[in-house]
Chain A
């Protein structure tokens, strides 16, 4: 009898189950463990208390990204707590023999940017990190998800994790995106549709023509924010785009091993006839640039749309909407475009890669940022920074009046001194608009690099298509049309 058709997720899962004892979750082998300074110190302490070693330092890699300053790296770190955290990751890595891409290293950067750019992230792998945006690596067809500190300790100690098998959820994006519409808009539209808990308990696989047409950078943007829809992991089947990105990268297989690896990777895509626990379809042609108006990433609308009022939402969601609008200081029914801004942040593991820098620069070139506006451009890694400088993008940003920084998480999480002040409005290419996420009392609009850059020019939320001189591809809709089949 022929084997039962399996999804991409099921193939990776089956391949990594070490043991499945009755009553216990599966023991899942982990191929790659990424570590950063914020969620790991207590795990190393735990290891030390148990008298254990890092079992597979060669499958572990660490960096410093969250609390590291993005200013001149030769300056001492003003925040004593951050400085201590940064010292600890270095000491822990030295003590336990874990390779560390730290301060001063040309390969340092946001953990989800450096994994792929070093070629560490490969199709078919299991990848974990003490960070919810580990979902990013799913763009390569790897099963990648965020874990807590107890689980970090587990992986350090055993190179495995205990996991219950999640359900599968196919998100198909059909059609072709219009000009000025990109990966960030796909994912914000999806989350607006399913809500921030909509994917709970599931692993999402993104399929469809609009996904196939995306570059690796764009695929990473989509997978990155999967967690914002409640799903721990998002996957895209590997294809020629994936292989072309990986070929020649430092840790990618070389020579004959490369051919073997590609042959293996070609067996990963979901078999014909395999089924998902749930499927939704989104019409890519109908998408427009998205922006959030509220205090979670699911509160998003098209940039030509109006801020919802109580009548537009489910009665159960009214109170939450009202609380969000009160925090944001926004008026229901008003256009989101034209909303005044104080700060623009371009960066993060969602949109801090080279293509994002290029997109932002393409809009800012020949313009100056609006008077009184603070614009911060923070590359996702030192390699992104170097590449951008090679292409002269830093000069475009500087000439436009934007700040060009060292790499790191920066204002995405506001742990390093880069932050919104209470009451300030910021448009941000990052992934979370929770209350206080970008600085206490700060108010965040999430959007794509194109939309953020266009808004930097005008000082108000702006449809990038107006600056790019492109007409919207279709009549604007504020919500994607979707069909759901269980």
Chain B
């Protein structure tokens, strides 16, 4: 179960690309694990290494030495397109990423991220362009992402409000997950089932 998360202050890794798909975030050959371990190394693997395993030169985004330990990604539109693999947010979290700022996220990825206390932060295209310019001009400025206050504060002290699904926010702030809540509603589920018989029985 995740730890409670309230806010983070970190420098930013800017990856100015749109449509970064889950096969880039965590290539399929790393999906053979049966636990959640070891995925930090898989993150953006094929961007970082040539097909014969050499580290690319110049190093890819997260391998740039200055980017080590940074917790916020600033990426282009439609981040996380593609598969439903939760290995993508697991890999991002394992590497140390806590929040991703974009104009949009793929539906399944966005949901999976929230379930792992990884914040998908949606901003307007205008704001996104301004943030990209800021990240380019001031690579080492620290941003604060405050989930409790639903606010991002930039290095110059400017801040703007962000929206996170209120239910997911409650879960992340408390460091809990949704199964407990749904199980507390089991009587309602059983009542529904009593009037909606199962459509199939796979055991027959």
Q: Are A29 and B196 in contact (CB under 8 A)?
A: yes
Chain A CB within 10 Å, residue with most, of B19, B115, B183, B198? B19
Across the interface, B166 reaches (CB within 8 A) one of A23, A60, A85, A251, namely A23
Q: Are B202 and A157 in contact (CB under 8 A)?
A: no
Q: Are A50 and B202 in contact (CB under 8 A)?
A: no
Q: Are A151 and B179 in contact (CB under 8 A)?
A: no
Q: Are B198 and A56 in contact (CB under 8 A)?
A: yes
- Chain B residues within 8 Å of A32, by CB: 199-200, 202
Q: Are A154 and B84 in contact (CB under 8 A)?
A: no
Q: Are A196 and B81 in contact (CB under 8 A)?
A: yes
- List which B176-204 residues lie within 8 A (CB) of chain A: 177-179, 181-183, 185-186, 188-189, 192-193, 196, 198-204
- Chain B residues within 8 Å of A132, by CB: 82-84, 108
- Chain B residues within 8 Å of A316, by CB: 18
Q: Are A50 and B179 in contact (CB under 8 A)?
A: yes
Given A196-B19, A296-B21; A158-B199 close (CB under 8 Å): no
Across the interface, A148 reaches (CB within 8 A) one of B23, B31, B115, B177, namely B115
Q: Are B107 and A230 in contact (CB under 8 A)?
A: yes
Given A27-B188, A32-B199, A88-B34; A153-B107 close (CB under 8 Å): no
- List which A396-420 residues lie within 8 A (CB) of chain B: 413-415
Closest B residue to A79 using CB positions: B32
A25-42 CB contact bits vs B (8 Å, 1 = yes)?
101010110000011011
Q: How far is the CB of A321 from chain B (nearest CB, A)?
A: 11
Across the interface, B202 reaches (CB within 8 A) one of A23, A60, A227, namely A60
B137 on interface, CB distance cutoff 8 Å: no
Q: Are A153 and B179 in contact (CB under 8 A)?
A: yes
A441 on interface, CB distance cutoff 8 Å: yes
Q: Are A296 and B200 in contact (CB under 8 A)?
A: no
B86 on interface, CB distance cutoff 8 Å: yes
User: What's the tally of chain A residues with a CB closer than 8 Å to chain B?
Assistant: 83
Question: Chain B interface: which of A334-342, A349-357, A432-440?
Answer: A432-440
Q: Are A125 and B108 in contact (CB under 8 A)?
A: no
Q: Are A296 and B81 in contact (CB under 8 A)?
A: yes
User: What's the tally of chain B residues with a CB closer than 8 Å to chain A?
Assistant: 60
Q: Are A19 and B185 in contact (CB under 8 A)?
A: yes
Q: Are B35 and A157 in contact (CB under 8 A)?
A: no
B17 on interface, CB distance cutoff 8 Å: yes
A159 on interface, CB distance cutoff 8 Å: yes
- The CA of A413 and the CA of B131, in the complex, are separated in Å by 35
- The CA of A62 and the CA of B81, in the complex, are separated in Å by 25
- Chain A residues within 8 Å of B166, by CB: 23
- The CA of A53 and the CA of B123, in the complex, are separated in Å by 41
Given A18-B189, A99-B202, A148-B115; A81-B182 close (CB under 8 Å): no
- List which B1-55 residues lie within 8 A (CB) of chain A: 17-19, 21, 23-24, 27-29, 31-36, 46, 51-52
Given A162-B167, A422-B51; A120-B32 close (CB under 8 Å): no
Given A85-B32, A197-B81, A320-B18; A435-B199 close (CB under 8 Å): no
B112 on interface, CB distance cutoff 8 Å: yes
Given A23-B166, A58-B202; A150-B177 close (CB under 8 Å): yes
Q: Are A59 and B198 in contact (CB under 8 A)?
A: yes
- The CA of A132 and the CA of B109, in the complex, are separated in Å by 10
Q: Are A18 and B27 in contact (CB under 8 A)?
A: no
- Residues of chain B touching chain A, judged by Cβ–Cβ distance below 8 Å, are 17-19, 21, 23-24, 27-29, 31-36, 46, 51-52, 77-78, 81-86, 89, 104-108, 111-112, 115-116, 165-167, 170, 177-179, 181-183, 185-186, 188-189, 192-193, 196, 198-204
The 3 closest A-B pairs by CB, nearest first: A197-B78, A422-B51, A148-B112
* Between-chain CB contacts (< 8 Å), 5 pairs: A27-B189, A41-B35, A58-B198, A84-B32, A132-B82
Q: A147-B84, A197-B19, A432-B82 are in contact. List 7 more A-B contacts (CB 8 A).
A: A23-B166, A32-B199, A132-B108, A153-B179, A160-B182, A414-B28, A415-B29
